[in-house]
């Protein structure tokens, strides 16, 4: 079934039906609300629902083609996959940021592939995504391997001495004028146990090798694993 054609009627199979049931649990707009509210809020939210369904449908079809022994029929009895999909689709409905929506789609994908990340951590990680914005996710990618990130972006990764803030602002110059925002991002990641460096470490002087050292905790690495494209799709 082509989910794009079937959205107006029904979506019959496996995760399609699951996702539709999840999204359908959003409270119905009351009769007393104005047509303007319906136009400005309800109709766009319906479009978001359709987009989420299409993204999940296309990703599962991709898995079926590219991953050996992937059995889509078994997903309906995979309780962890069902839980992740229910939570991730609800979170996705509440955000317009592409980075977050892609992270949620990857989380659904990895749960379908039986990721090594513990089921309890998966639920925790989804709650993190819900409270994060796109900059939390981007900073995490940088902190996993700052040297590799800079080199991949064609930027200088050889420093003699400086602070971690020099690395961050080189990678993301748009953050330079928003220092307090950047500090809050670092504190959030530190307080969630994903990074070993909070805002207080941004301006600490260190050697060049220290500036580009990996800074994620073990849980931070697991978090990125959970929200990243699975290797089978690369």
**SS3 annotation, the chain:** CCHHHHCCCCCCCHHHHHHHHHHCCCCCCCCCCCHHHHHHHHHHHHHHHHHHHHHHHHHHHHHHHHCCCCCHHHHHHCHHHHHHHHHHHHHHHCCCCHHHHHHHHHHHHHHHCCCCCCHHHHHHHHHHHHHCCHHHHHHHHHHHCHHHHHHHCCCCCCCCEECHHHHHHHHCHHHCCCHHHHHHHHHHHHHCCCECCCHHHCCCCEEHHHHCCCCECHHHHHHHHHHCCCHHHC
Structural domain span for residue 161: 135-226
Could you tell me the CA-to-CA distances from 145 to 70, 124, 217 in Å, in that order?
31, 23, 12
Shared domain check, 16 and 115: yes
Q: List 162's β-bridge partners, or say none.
A: 206
> Do 114 and 180 share a domain, yes or no?
no
Residues 6+ apart with CB under 8 A from 144: 214, 216, 220, 221, 224
Residue 44 inside a domain? The answer is yes
Q: How many domains does the chain have?
A: 2
Contact of 156 with 190, CB cutoff 8 Å: no
Residue after which a domain boundary falls, among 77, 98, 122: 122
Residue 17: per-residue pLDDT: 54
Whole-angstrom Cα distance, residue 217 to residue 196? Answer: 6
Task: Kindly state whether residues 184 and 151 are assigned to the same domain.
Answer: yes
For residue 170 the two structure tokens come to 């080189």
Residue position matching structure tokens 């990125």: 224
My answer on whether 176 and 83 are in the same domain is no
**80, 98, 122 - which closes a domain:** 122
Q: Kindly give the confidence (pLDDT) of every residue in the chain, 234 residues in length, as a single tens digit, with 9 standing for 90 and above.
A: 444 444 444 333 455 555 555 545 555 555 555 666 666 666 667 777 778 888 888 888 888 888 877 888 888 888 999 999 999 999 998 899 999 999 999 999 999 988 789 999 999 999 999 999 999 999 999 999 999 999 999 999 999 999 999 999 999 999 999 999 999 999 999 999 999 999 999 999 999 999 999 999 999 999 999 999 886 544
Answer yes or no: do 38 and 91 share one domain.
Answer: yes
pLDDT of residue 55: 86
Please report whether residue 231 resides in a domain.
no
Q: Do 17 and 62 lie in a common domain?
A: yes
Q: Is the separation of the CB atoms in 211 and 202 below 8 Å?
A: no
pTM, two decimal places:
0.80
């Amino acid at each position: 079934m082509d989910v794009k054609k079937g959205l107006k009627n029904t979506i019959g199979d496996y995760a399609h039906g699951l996702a539709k049931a999840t999204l359908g649990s959003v409270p119905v707009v009351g009769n007393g609300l104005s047509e303007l509210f319906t136009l400005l809020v309800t109709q766009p939210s319906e479009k978001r629902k359709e987009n989420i369904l299409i993204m999940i449908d296309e990703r599962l079809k991709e898995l079926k083609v590219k991953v050996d022994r992937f059995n889509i029929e078994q997903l309906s009895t995979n309780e962890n996959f069902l839980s992740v999909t229910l939570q991730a689709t609800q979170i996705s409905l509440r955000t317009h940021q592409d980075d977050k929506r892609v992270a949620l789609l990857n989380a659904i994908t990895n749960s379908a592939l039986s990721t090594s990340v513990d089921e309890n951590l998966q639920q925790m990680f989804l709650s993190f995504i819900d409270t994060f914005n796109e900059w939390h996710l981007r900073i995490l990618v940088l902190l996993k391997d700052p040297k590799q990130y800079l080199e991949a972006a064609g930027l200088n990764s050889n420093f003699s001495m400086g602070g971690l803030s020099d690395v961050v602002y080189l990678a993301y110059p748009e953050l330079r004028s928003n220092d307090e925002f950047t500090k809050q991002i670092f504190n959030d990641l530190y307080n969630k146990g994903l990074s070993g460096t909070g805002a207080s470490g941004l301006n600490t002087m260190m050697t060049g090798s220290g500036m580009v050292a990996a800074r994620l905790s073990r849980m931070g690495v697991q978090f990125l694993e959970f929200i990243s494209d699975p290797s089978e799709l690369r």
